[in-house]
Amino acid sequence: MKSILEEFARGNISPNASSFKRDSHYGRTMKTVHDFETKLLSSLSGESKASFEQFSEAQAELNLITGIDRFIYGYRLGVLMTMEVFIGSDEFTSDSKGADA
């Protein structure tokens, strides 16, 4: 079984659906990527087209893996920050000498 953080990062468990506005920066950038991909694919044929599609799929997989790793790291960092608020940094850092030192 995968970790709950990885499942959450992959979107397999989600508190709500995600959407974006087409006129947002993200939406415009997504359209630009789509337009260039369509233009490039129409100019390619045969082996070149297949190679580009394989490259695109590999890049998408790499982006997914990177996104998951960053999400998990960020979530863990947030939990550590929360722990510090409730416990104090002296309780879970090894190089701390405490207030009395």
What span, in angstroms and rounded, lies between the C-alpha atoms of 11 and 59? 19
Residue 18 makes CB contacts below 8 A (sequence gap 6+) with 11
Per-residue HEC secondary structure of 13-71 comes to CCCCCCCCCCCCHHHHHHHHHHHHHHHHHHHCCHHHHHHHHHHHHHHHHHHHHHHHHHH
pLDDT by residue for the chain (101 residues), tens digit each?
578 888 888 888 776 667 788 999 999 999 999 999 999 999 999 999 999 999 999 999 999 999 989 989 999 999 999 988 888 766 666 665 555 54
Kindly tell me the burial class for residue 7, based on how many C-beta atoms sit within 10 Å of its own C-beta (0-12, 13-18, 19 or more). Answer: middle
**pTM of model > 0.75:** no
Which among 2, 10, 1, 3 has a CA at the least distance from the CA of 61? Answer: 10
